Amino acid sequence: MIDYPRMIAEVNRMEPAPRRVRATLAGRTVVDTTRAVYLWEWPNYPQYYVPIEDVAADAVVDEEHEQKLSRGRARRLGLRVGDVLRQGAGRVYTDDSLPGLAGLVRFEWDALDAWYEEDEEVFVHPRNPYTRVDAVRSTRRVRVELDGVLLGESSSPVMVFETGLPTRYYLNRSEIDFTVLEHSPTVTACPYKGRTTDYWSIRTPVAVHPDLAWSYSFPTASMQAIAGLVSFYNEKIDILLDGRMIERPVTHFFR
């Protein structure tokens, strides 16, 4: 099996984020900065660290709890907007921390209702500036099978190439056999593609395989080529490309 490591940058690497970053809580913008910093807490992608001056002061709740963390000392903060209180929403670093961290706040992503880079909503975590995602129309023949059952076949797929992940193959819905797909309530989100609108499990004579196909009806602007198309997890599906079986990859989605 092909193993796709996602080691992009070393831990604790810092660099300026060139984009305007905003975050909202209860309908109010409480973070608005053009001075955010990327910090890689682990190699796959960074987190935003924001100057405390760029956080709405009247929304900040000092929880008067200081912590000694791996990157230095920090005070724990909550956020309040009207009746909405998010305790332990973030931490602001003090002078006794890694160089460049003093005065920066690291918020938990889910402590805010929505995050934006410029005017586009970002999901799950900040986009890695060193990850590239391209959606490319192709005329290569793609055949998708599982347990010997044909799920779909296309000579006009859209191939999505994303740094650190295997190529994903998106097929037109008219090329999919939906009689073997069962709609699932699962919803996932991706910083680069947006939030899924459909998920499916696959029923074959062997078993029901949960949540192996998905679709984005309203992807991000840069990924409009995949709107409404259906893709499958290569890790659990048999895919033939131009008649040749592709080796199933190993990714963090299925270990």
DSSP state letters, 210-250: EEEEEE-SS--GGGGGGTT-EEE-TTTSEEEETTEEPPPEE
- Residue pLDDT, tens place only, 159-195: 999 998 999 999 999 999 999 999 999 999 999 999 9
Report, as an integer, the average pLDDT of 43-71. Answer: 94
Q: Are 37 and 16 in contact (CB under 8 A)?
A: yes
For 85-97, b/e burial (b = at least 16 CB within 10 A) is ebeebbbbbeeeb
Q: 67: which residues sit within 8 A by CB, 6+ positions away?
A: 73, 74, 75, 76, 91
Predicted confidence at residue 2, as pLDDT, reads 56
Distance in angstroms (rounded) separating the CA atoms of residues 152 and 175: 5
- Residue pLDDT, tens place only, 107-135: 999 999 999 999 999 999 999 999 999 99
Distance in angstroms (rounded) separating the CA atoms of residues 237 and 147: 9
Predicted confidence at residue 21, as pLDDT, reads 98
Provide the whole-model pTM: 0.85
Query: 7 pLDDT exceeds 50?
Result: no
Q: Strands 181-184 and 142-146, how do they pair?
A: unpaired
Find how far residue 116's CA is from the centre of its chain.
13
Find how far residue 92's CA is from the centre of its chain.
25
Q: Are 223 and 193 in contact (CB under 8 A)?
A: yes
Copy the structure tokens of residue 137.
Answer: 């129309």
Distance in angstroms (rounded) separating the CA atoms of residues 219 and 222: 8
Predicted confidence at residue 40, as pLDDT, reads 95
Q: Which domains does the chain have, with CATH numbers?
A: 2-122 (2.170.150.40), 133-250 (2.170.150.40)
Distance in angstroms (rounded) separating the CA atoms of residues 49 and 141: 45
